[in-house]
Amino acid sequence: MGQSLTIKNNYVSAPSAPIQHDRDPVAMLFHWAETRPKSTYLRQPINGVWREYSWAEVADQVRRMASALQAMGLKPGEVVALTGKNTAHWIIADLAISMVGGISVGIYPNQASETTRYVLEHSETKFLFFGPLMDAQQLADGIPESVKTIGFPYPEVPETDYGWDALLKEHEPLQDWEPNDPDGVHTMIYTSGTTGNPKGVMLSTRATREIMGGVIDRLKLGDDERFFSYLPLSHIFERGVIELSSLYIGAEVSFMESLDKLASQLAEVAPTRFYGVPVVYGRIQHGILHKLPQKKLERLLRIPILSGMIRKKVVTGLGLQNARGVVSGAAPMPEAMINWFSKLGITICQGYGMSENAAYCTTNIPSENRIGSVGRPMPGVDIKIHDKTEEVLTRSTATMLGYYKNPEKTAETIVDGWLHTGDKGRIDKDGYLYITGRIKDAFKTSKGKYVDPSPIEDKLAVDEAIAQICLIGSGMKLPVGIVRIESDDSDADIAERLADKVEALNKTLEPHERVGKLFLTRDEWTVEDGLVTPTMKIKRPQLEERYRDHAEAMLGEEDKVIWL
């Protein structure tokens, strides 16, 4: 293996990587603005036309907006929030906030207005940068009167207290600047938890700059990288792999204009790295199968002369022909889907992390990819498995400072320097981490025995028609699966295939684990209806509440697979 690790029973430690730049993100921006001022940094599409911003232009706008925030009374340590679709101005505003010592908080653009209000009030936000949104009114309904809004310069942004362009014109670039306290709060990420109000994860400037050395070292990022940004910048995953990485290596970033243009603009950009979540890869898979059904695809891939041409055509059509790394994170990805893409020549590497450790924990890389695992520790990361609970514990400079205004929960989560992740896992002899479930996901059936749903879900998710699956069954005789289908196949064909899979799987499970039925739906599970988090993690309690009564009423039916 390429990475030197210390591996013991249930413990793995990676040596620290050299710090690439002992500077904070704002200093990195100014570095590139001085050394390559005319090179393109950010590319923003508007009505299909790309607007390019050089490093020097971005630095100028950052200085001007920083001057405006200071003039409007923002003090170091105060909070400024950002929302809207990913845009060049999201990153420019974030850097301006940091330049004057503010703390940035990302607001998910499609979350409920009640959640928005909670985050803005809990964080004591002073200003909110408002970008383009699908439903601007929903977000606007959650903004307290005390918060002043600043609108990004896009046609679809509603009226705000201040306009971006006007503020830039009114203020000269701020020149007087000192780097922030490395141990102070750089940003707060409000976790999109599956239960209760989100918690404000405080991350330090030191963590930000030191983990980038590990990211650059482990992923072998070069100075010619080209990124494509479309996952929410409110989430630490996108903040790290796109915003911070681009600043520390001088990479170019292109943004997606809208979801319906994802495929065309991804192909146009053809990035050197592509980052996604399992739902995104599922939709890509569905798009391929819509044009090339599974049976025909399998037949063509068996023909030696044609197989290479098919793979090249598919990969190029997706825009992944230049990708040196294709990564999935934020939620578990079924092995069956990884294997499916592998047959097309696309190696998907899973990684693992959470807001509480700045999404800096483990990753696979193409040359050391072990399917089923989430990879080996990033440089400077220690991981161990709790002897009794099998919980994954991590330790590194990326660990959060704590939860904002919640010392009790902080003390529960960080014990003796170790972050308790809430995930169950195991470490193999080569130091690869495997996530085996969530501690709180296990439920007890009416037989009085516990069922861990994650391994069963993963074994069921072997059919290309399955987009998402959730096993429920607390207090029920047997677990049942709620399955979201995304496929052009007929209802009858899908039901028949999945019935066979349930029968085969049940032969390998303990009696209390056997799946009683699968309930299928083509309904979307969305953030708006509260069934998934903004990163598309399933909210198990909410899904169970939505479907449980319906499922229990149909348990007496003979069929193993039933369409809802």
Residue 273: HSE in the Cβ half-sphere, 13 Å Cα cutoff:
25
Q: Check whether 263 has a pLDDT greater than 90.
A: no
Angle between the N-to-C axes of helices 335-342 and 278-291, in degrees from 0 to 180, rounded to the nearest 10: 50
DSSP helix/strand/coil, 50:
strand
Q: Convert the pLDDT of each residue in 422-469 to its tens digit.
A: 999 999 999 999 998 888 877 777 777 778 888 888 888 888 888 888
Q: Check whether 502 has a pLDDT greater than 80.
A: yes
pLDDT given for residue 525 in this prediction: 84
Fold of 258-285+311-439: Rossmann fold (3.40.50)
Give the pLDDT mean for 346-366.
Answer: 93
Q: Check whether 195 has a pLDDT greater than 60.
A: no
Q: Check whether 365 has a pLDDT greater than 60.
A: yes
Q: Check whether 283 has a pLDDT greater than 80.
A: yes
Q: Check whether 150 has a pLDDT greater than 80.
A: yes
pLDDT given for residue 139 in this prediction: 81
pLDDT given for residue 549 in this prediction: 79
Q: Which helix (H) or strand (E) holds 59?
A: helix 55-71
Burial 432-455 (b: 16+ CB within 10 A, else e): bbbbbbbbebebebeeeeebbbbe
| CA–CA gap between residue 307 and residue 292 (Å, rounded) | 13
Contact 178, 150 (CB under 8 A): no
**Selected residue with higher pLDDT from 2 and 328:** 328
Beta bridge partners of 481: 471, 518
Give the pLDDT mean for 359-371.
Answer: 92
Q: Check whether 193 has a pLDDT greater than 60.
A: no
DSSP helix/strand/coil, 489:
coil
pLDDT given for residue 540 in this prediction: 81
Q: Check whether 2 has a pLDDT greater than 70.
A: no
Cite the beta strand spans of 61-153 per DSSP E.
Answer: 79-83, 103-107, 125-130, 148-151
CATH of domain 25-178+221-249: 3.40.50.980
| CA–CA gap between residue 92 and residue 98 (Å, rounded) | 10
Confidence of residue 477 (pLDDT cuts 50, 70, 90): confident
**What is the percent of the chain where pLDDT is above 70?**
97
Cite the beta strand spans of 215-335 per DSSP E.
Answer: 226-229, 252-255, 273-276, 325-328
Length of the chain, in residues: 564
Q: Check whether 198 has a pLDDT greater than 60.
A: yes
Q: Which of 8-22, 248-262, 305-319, 338-352 has the lowest mean pLDDT?
A: 8-22
* Most confidently predicted of 8-22, 134-148, 315-329: 315-329
Confidence of residue 376 (pLDDT cuts 50, 70, 90): very high
DSSP helix/strand/coil, 249:
helix
pLDDT given for residue 279 in this prediction: 80
Q: Rounded to two decimals, what is the model's pTM?
A: 0.86
| Average pLDDT of every residue of the chain | 88
pLDDT given for residue 20 in this prediction: 56
Q: Check whether 194 has a pLDDT greater than 70.
A: no
| CA–CA gap between residue 41 and residue 52 (Å, rounded) | 7
pLDDT given for residue 1 in this prediction: 58
Q: Check whether 363 has a pLDDT greater than 90.
A: yes
Q: Check whether 82 has a pLDDT greater than 90.
A: yes
Outline which parts of the chain fall under CATH 3.30.300.30.
444-563
Architecture, CATH, for domain 444-563: 2-Layer Sandwich (3.30)
Tokens of 88: 């060049």
Confidence of residue 396 (pLDDT cuts 50, 70, 90): very high
Which residues lie closer than 8 Å to 304 by C-beta, 6 or more apart? Answer: none
**Selected residue with higher pLDDT from 91 and 550:** 91
| CA–CA gap between residue 291 and residue 293 (Å, rounded) | 6
| CA–CA gap between residue 184 and residue 204 (Å, rounded) | 5
- Per DSSP, the chain holds a count of helices (H) and strands (E) of 18, 30
pLDDT given for residue 229 in this prediction: 94
Residue 169's Cβ-count burial label (10 Å; 0-12, 13-18, 19+) is exposed
Contact 122, 405 (CB under 8 A): yes
Tokens of 46: 């508007």
Outline which parts of the chain fall under CATH 3.40.50.12780.
258-285+311-439
Report the 3 state secondary structure along 156-220: CCCCCCEEHHHHHHHCCCCCCCCCCCCCCEEEEEECCCCCCCCCEEEEEHHHHHHHHHHHHHHHC
pLDDT given for residue 18 in this prediction: 64
pLDDT given for residue 19 in this prediction: 60
Which residues lie closer than 8 Å to 444 by C-beta, 6 or more apart? Answer: 450, 451, 474, 475
Q: Check whether 551 has a pLDDT greater than 80.
A: no
**Selected residue with higher pLDDT from 173 and 505:** 173
Q: What is the DSSP string of 314-354?
A: HHHHHT-TT-SEEEE-SS---HHHHHHHHTTT--EEEEE--
pLDDT given for residue 334 in this prediction: 81
Q: Check whether 369 has a pLDDT greater than 60.
A: yes
Outline which parts of the chain fall under CATH 3.40.50.980.
25-178+221-249
pLDDT given for residue 136 in this prediction: 80
Q: Are strands 185-190 and 103-107 parallel, antiparallel or unpaired?
A: parallel
Give the pLDDT mean for 97-108.
Answer: 95
